[in-house]
Structure 1
Amino acid sequence: MNAFPEGDLAGAGGADAGSGWLCPLPEGHPAAALLSARAVRKHCAEVTRFVASGESALFSWHPERVPEIADYVSATIRRRYPDLVVPYHSRWRHFEAGGPGETVDRWRMLCERAGLNGPEQREERARIGIDLVIPSVLLDAGAGPDWRYRDSASDQMLSRSEGLGVASFDLFARGGFSAALGDPLRADAERLMRIDVSSIASAFQVAQHNPLVGLDGRAGLLRRLGEVAQATPAVFGAPARLGNLFDYLRAHASDGRIEAGFVLRTLLVALGPVWPGRMVLDGVPLGDCWRHAAAAGGLVPLHKLTQWLTYSMLEPLEDGGLTVTGLDALTGLPEYRNGGLLYDFALMVPRDPGFAGHAHTVGEPAIVEWRALTVSGLDLVAQSVRDALGLSAEAFPLARVLEGGTWAAGRRIAAQRRPGGPPPFSMISDGTVF
């Protein structure tokens, strides 16, 4: 049954997909009920209650496993951050990748070279940070097992998210997203719309012996990003530049304070049309939102990538003078490291003993259910971790629990249980979710 009878819920591939799309979202629009972190938590809780009651044919739920998971996560945090000073979980950590146990402060060095380290440049520095991080997050789909990036700053071969992060940082620093001659540190819609496969292949050192999964899709996503920014002057200005989002958010701040939920909602609406092949409600794309019968209206919003982008916006926004409040309104990220951790520790157990033996699609009910359970499970683990560390939610928000944290613990347990550290089961994805 359609929970929004006044709306038109359809696949994004339809003839009218995206037509009538408005940003900012008009008050009372039916899509608003699904485009928030509150909606993610609410609908995931509905699925979790369904599984916990024993009604699911796909998974069983074992909250008694939470203390053991929290102990493992707490130990991981203490190993990585003995002083418990943990940064936010964000793309910025990948920009710092170096050799084993080392970090490289590429952002500081870039700002120094550009003469942008002074307090009088803080607002432009924030715009540049946003210019950098939005395309970089969109480029962070799985790289595949064989791809590597040689980083000149650390003289290391980097792979996975770290390699993709540093490669996109270097591309940005060289002016790869700029349409302004002599002003490389910006991301302009005009340039993004002209990104081609050869540009990405060259920047990411792709060769026959160094293949990168989804090359065409990455270039297409950046072009679509440019088109959407160009069509959204209310948020990205005219001519459109991604960094102008800072000015939009600053204009909506109150006494220099802005809620994380507002940042997320802005990104969900403004960037919603970037994602291909998704559901649309009354002309508004719903993004990372999937069908599950146990949720109200049969839909479960998850918004993993956009929430991660929101987490990744915290540092440039704060550097620009804004205080981002209500961080724990955001949810944990339902992806293969966090979700793999909870799966490996049997918080959720598949009823099919052969579940891990074959690949799954992103939209199938089992994966939607596993991701919804991950969101609920991360909230339980986060509170138990704080109790173990003797820290409050205010001192140690979810953004730090994830970084310290569940994401690192998911990678750690995967490496202990499976050669090479892959997820506990495989997923077929177009790169816009995981």
Structure 2
Amino acid sequence: MAPTDVEYLSSLRSVRERCFRVQEVAARNQLQHFDIDQSKFGDMVQIVLSLMKRDFDDTSEIPPHGRWRHFDVGGRPRIRNLINSWSSLGEDAMEQTRRILDLFVVACLLDIETDYTWSYREQLTGRILKRNEGVAVACLEMFTAGHFSSDPSKPHRVDSEALIRFSLETLAQGLQVDVNHNLLVVLQDRVDLLRHLGQVLQNRQDHFGTDVARPGNLMDYLLAHPTTINTKKGPLIHLETLWPIVQEMGEVWTMKSSSASSITSNDSHSMKGATRELGDVWPCKTLQTTTESNEYDHFVSFHRLSQWLVYSLIEPMEKLLGATIEGTEQLTVLPEYRNGGLLIDTGFLTLKQPDLERGLENYRKNALLPGQPKVEIAPMFEMSDSVVVEWRALTVAYLDIVADRVRETLGLSRKKLTLSQLIQGGTWSAGRELAAISRPNTQEPPIVIKMDRRVIY
């Protein structure tokens, strides 16, 4: 692979550009796996608008999309309470930011897609929490208990030494996993990811500190970077400076650790969790032609985990240090189940019959395995399946168009109504609510992605 291919497909810019190439094929009605009903596009726009109007008196009140929202489940401001407690003990804004970044990095890397059977009982309140919010609160309680710190006298931090020796047993206990009643899958992969992060922290002391290597020390690196500008409002930080760091913390794990034995028989580039050297980048048959200038012309990049880290980390930088992150307009809708489900549950996208039948057969075979879902039948595919690649690309592109239509309807600019706000107050919420209506027993997405080793997105 030429260095220019690696550089481009690893970039954030490539996500929107490559996904819109798939959308152009959709506009010509030449997709491989989905049919599109353009008459349903307006329905998506109206659903997003109605949810925003229902939940917020003013669009300026919509918070940004990020892991912070999950910690506040049930209306309890857990992160703000934690920050206030540090402030009362004399910790300055810089150290508070480092600690929140520490927490948010591990919380994003442990953002496991749970099924409807798993739940978490919050130790402080006794509340029963589920899904992303339950995992977030579990991470918070592991953090405050000092499970990510090697120094018992400084429990509220994450450091390389603790991560490198982090155990499966600690994670299972922290998430209250019970193999008989409260099961979560692929936990070992998440432990491996935390251990990888520990190694990255030690190997890149320029990014994460020479004394105690912590994710939060990336704030010091960003503030000292020559591209950062100090203004009266606060530091102006370029997204391009942060981007390679978040990729190193998450995606590089799959880029370099996938073994040759995990290459699929269909495509020598494809791994179960990534494309070698590139991470969350996949071959897309929809774009494959006989006139490609090189073998990577039909690859589509998503970088979902890296973008999730960026969305989550910039919020505490802005709130605690008054930072401005330049270049956030490059971020896209995250190609995950709630956003993607909105396109299908509104009828805008429909699986072609052969793929529907294949997906349902995949589900039936998988349901015969111990511990696998059997409640509500839905088409199932592996992450590397071309159906999933096409679905994810269409999610990024079409919800970008939905966002523009919503702004146009409200008469708001991109600055007045950011994509981050639109995801949080509209597309993500709509996808989750439609899933609950369409599949009330499990609230699962309309297409199930089979969880397997090395799939961390």
Cα distance per residue 1:294-344 (max 9 Å; x no partner): 166221110111101100011121122321133221000001100000111
| Residues in 1 aligned to 2:277 and 2:298: alpha-carbon distance in whole angstroms | 16
**Are positions 1:144 and 2:125 aligned together?**
no
Of the three residues 274, 283, 295, the one matched with 2:253 is 274
Change (3 A) 1:263 1:346: farther
- The corresponding residue for 2:291 is none
Measured after TM superposition, the shift of residue 288 of structure 1 is 0.7
- The corresponding residue for 1:96 is 72
**Identity across the alignment (%):** 36
Q: Conserved in 1, the CA contact under 8 Å of 2:341 and 2:435?
A: yes
**Partner SS state of residue 115, structure 1:** helix
Cα distance per residue 1:97-116 (max 9 Å; x no partner): 12xxxx11111222233336
- The corresponding residue for 1:12 is none
Cα distance per residue 1:23-48 (max 9 Å; x no partner): xxxxxx64221122210001111122
Instruction: Show the 5 A alignment for 1:37-116.
Output: 37-84=12-59, 85-98=61-74, 103-115=75-87
| Residues in 1 aligned to 2:250 and 2:348: alpha-carbon distance in whole angstroms | 33
- The corresponding residue for 2:374 is none
Unaligned runs of 5+ in 2: 260-268, 289-295, 361-378
Q: Conserved in 2, the CA contact under 8 Å of 1:111 and 1:117?
A: no
| Residues in 2 aligned to 1:212 and 1:31: alpha-carbon distance in whole angstroms | 34
- The corresponding residue for 2:127 is 156
- The corresponding residue for 2:325 is 324
Instruction: Report the count of equivalent residues.
Output: 403
AA in 2 matched with 1:335: E
AA in 2 matched with 1:320: L
Change (3 A) 1:422 1:36: same
Change (3 A) 1:380 1:261: farther
- The corresponding residue for 1:354 is 357
| Residues in 2 aligned to 1:116 and 1:432: alpha-carbon distance in whole angstroms | 41
AA in 2 matched with 1:36: S
| Residues in 1 aligned to 2:435 and 2:15: alpha-carbon distance in whole angstroms | 26
Measured after TM superposition, the shift of residue 219 of structure 1 is 1.7
| Residues in 1 aligned to 2:408 and 2:126: alpha-carbon distance in whole angstroms | 40
Cα distance per residue 1:36-61 (max 9 Å; x no partner): 22100011111221232233231233
AA in 1 matched with 2:333: G
185-194 or 140-149: which moved more? 140-149
Measured after TM superposition, the shift of residue 67 of structure 1 is 1.9
AA in 2 matched with 1:424: P
Instruction: Show the 5 A alignment for 1:216-231.
Output: 216-231=188-203
Q: TM-score, normalised by structure 2?
A: 0.82
- The corresponding residue for 1:246 is 219
Measured after TM superposition, the shift of residue 389 of structure 1 is 3.0
**Partner SS state of residue 229, structure 2:** coil
Instruction: Show the 5 A alignment for 1:1-400.
Output: 4=1, 6-7=2-3, 30-84=5-59, 85-98=61-74, 103-115=75-87, 121-207=92-178, 208-238=180-210, 239-252=212-225, 253-255=228-230, 256-275=235-254, 276-277=257-258, 285-293=277-285, 294=287, 297-318=297-318, 319-352=320-353, 353-354=356-357, 357=360, 358-400=379-421
Q: Conserved in 1, the CA contact under 8 Å of 2:115 and 2:444?
A: no
| Residues in 2 aligned to 1:270 and 1:149: alpha-carbon distance in whole angstroms | 26
Change (3 A) 1:64 1:433: farther
Q: Conserved in 2, the CA contact under 8 Å of 1:356 and 1:424?
A: no
191-200 or 138-147: which moved more? 138-147
Larger RCO of the pair (alpha carbons < 8 Å, separation 6+): 1
| Residues in 1 aligned to 2:277 and 2:139: alpha-carbon distance in whole angstroms | 27
256-265 or 201-210: which moved more? 256-265
Cα distance per residue 1:180-215 (max 9 Å; x no partner): 231111110110011101111111122232222222
Unaligned runs of 5+ in 1: 8-28
**Partner SS state of residue 325, structure 2:** strand
Measured after TM superposition, the shift of residue 261 of structure 1 is 4.4
- The corresponding residue for 1:22 is none
More helix by share: 2
168-177 or 49-58: which moved more? 49-58
Change (3 A) 1:73 1:142: same
204-213 or 308-317: which moved more? 204-213
Measured after TM superposition, the shift of residue 270 of structure 1 is 4.9
| Residues in 2 aligned to 1:387 and 1:154: alpha-carbon distance in whole angstroms | 43
| Residues in 2 aligned to 1:267 and 1:402: alpha-carbon distance in whole angstroms | 21
Q: TM-score, normalised by structure 1?
A: 0.87
Cα distance per residue 1:339-386 (max 9 Å; x no partner): 000111233322225365231010111110110010001111111122
